[in-house]
Structure 1
């Protein structure tokens, strides 16, 4: 089983030199030009981490098409982030790009402050950025990588949410990106899978914590998706077969995952909190 998604990573070096979508042999599909918007997020303000490429980019574009003003955090993928901005502006949307490393607590708070100063509030928080490091066995996990993986995938999610909640009105939505690996595990992504399991627990607990504030908290657990980080984590031969072990026998496109986030962000999911959606190519989930 290959790794699930990821978005624009918020951390340092990866296994290969793939750092943006244009370097990928398979170009990820991040926009459905045939989509007919219905204003589901009209007037909403969304902050999306890891929004420069992959799933986060597709989510940002779809949210903007549905009427939201979008703040996109990204780390190194400047070209991909600028492309996301151009697509959003082509559709008449408003977007704010905020570059920075969310493994730094101070930046996480700055990220929220910058968004609120620009847009006034946050209605939708998508904690999506992540990182992963391929290892052959538990003995190969480097402490520095272990710490960084938890900082980016878990600590940052908590820091950003802490800073954002005071600026989120009743009826707001928080959506956390977990992974199929939280449910099925992954022998070569031990620490990454552990963080994704933590995100599931955090999502369920946070939903109970914020119910009195009328803020819904849900998650999305993608399966194998065409993104730069997914490609950078494994070798070229393995990447050729990305997603072939799913029941649908292929990897998904970011644009196929984005509607799960739109559903959870909109009034369509008004009776859902503490739940996780599974766009994973048909993999059976236990737990």
Structure 2
């Protein structure tokens, strides 16, 4: 068994997943980098992690397939003999918007739910015995969509709401040996949103979001990664937490002012 801790991060070829893999590598972890389609980007993520001193494993896999989740888990155990952290970052959506919510079919809904919710469940189930041995942790990458009911599509919102509820359940079920938390970001300045909205659409949504957000900024992938790594490497008494990373959107927007006593 390796002395370095080991993290398995799904969807870690790009964006938040890649940023998390790099930051954990810099903190002394070996990392399994998983991707479904972005092989070239995943190879770049792997190279960055290796340059930071990590031993790495690069694997393609679809978390919606239970066999792939088991294969990812077994590969990490075969290589390093341990799993200390799982970051369930793999996620998909469709950008239909509120005006077209009723055009979605069952296949689209089911596929999004299978990746975003069932995939996270299957990864936790596969890794739980190994996490328990290391007193490890799980961080689910959710969204304010699941907390506030806003987002790119109905199935995405529903899948993240279910992921939040599942996080609470698993935090109870796996205590005291495994901590389970979720981060719930708002808008992220990543390729995922640009691919879904187009560059012009993304810039419009970003400007709108920043105009109504108290902190007047969107998340970078690194912002989200920092929160994930804190929940992974520190936060020893934190479990069952749904950490909002939304710049204060849940407060009702920057225009809401706290009244002050007249001079």
Which category of TM-score, normalised to the shorter sequence, fits these structures?
A: 0.7 to 0.9
Q: CA deviation at 1:227?
A: 1.8
Q: CA deviation at 1:285?
A: 5.8
Residues 187/113 of structure 1: CA separation in 2 closer, same or farther (3 Å cut): closer
Partner of 1:27: none
- Alpha-carbon distance in 2 for matches of 1:203, 1:250: 27
| Equivalent runs, 1:45-64 vs 2, <5 Å | 45-64=6-25
Partner of 1:165: 128
Q: Does 2:215 match 1:260?
A: no
Residues 188/216 of structure 1: CA separation in 2 closer, same or farther (3 Å cut): closer
Aligned partner of residue 134 in structure 1, secondary structure: coil
Q: Does 2:119 match 1:153?
A: no
**Is contact 1:243-1:249 (8 Å) kept?**
no
Residues 260/102 of structure 1: CA separation in 2 closer, same or farther (3 Å cut): same
Q: CA deviation at 1:188?
A: 4.2
Q: Does 2:164 match 1:200?
A: yes
Partner of 2:85: 124
The structure with the larger Rg is: 2
Q: Which of the pair is proportionally richer in helix?
A: 2
TM-score, normalisation: structure 1: 0.80
For structure 1, the residue ranges without an aligned partner over 5 or more in a row are: 1-41
Partner of 1:111: 72
TM-score, normalisation: structure 2: 0.87
Aligned partner of residue 245 in structure 2, secondary structure: coil
Residues 191/224 of structure 1: CA separation in 2 closer, same or farther (3 Å cut): same
- Alpha-carbon distance in 1 for matches of 2:108, 2:116: 12
Q: CA deviation at 1:187?
A: 5.9
**Is contact 1:51-1:57 (8 Å) kept?**
yes
**Is contact 1:109-1:163 (8 Å) kept?**
yes
**Is contact 1:183-1:285 (8 Å) kept?**
no
Partner of 1:5: none
Higher relative contact order (CA 8 A, sep 6+): 1
**Is contact 2:93-2:152 (8 Å) kept?**
no
Partner of 1:222: 185
Deviations 1:89-128 (A, max 9, x none): 1122211111122221211111111111111121001111
**Is contact 1:50-1:129 (8 Å) kept?**
yes
Q: CA deviation at 1:161?
A: 0.8
Aligned partner of residue 76 in structure 1, secondary structure: coil
Aligned partner of residue 137 in structure 1, secondary structure: helix
For structure 2, the residue ranges without an aligned partner over 5 or more in a row are: 253-263
**Is contact 2:82-2:134 (8 Å) kept?**
no
Aligned partner of residue 281 in structure 1, secondary structure: coil
| Equivalent runs, 1:1-287 vs 2, <5 Å | 43-135=4-96, 136-168=99-131, 169-186=133-150, 188-212=152-176, 214-244=177-207, 245=209, 246-266=213-233, 268-284=234-250
Aligned partner of residue 68 in structure 2, secondary structure: helix
Partner of 1:34: none
Residues 148/48 of structure 1: CA separation in 2 closer, same or farther (3 Å cut): same
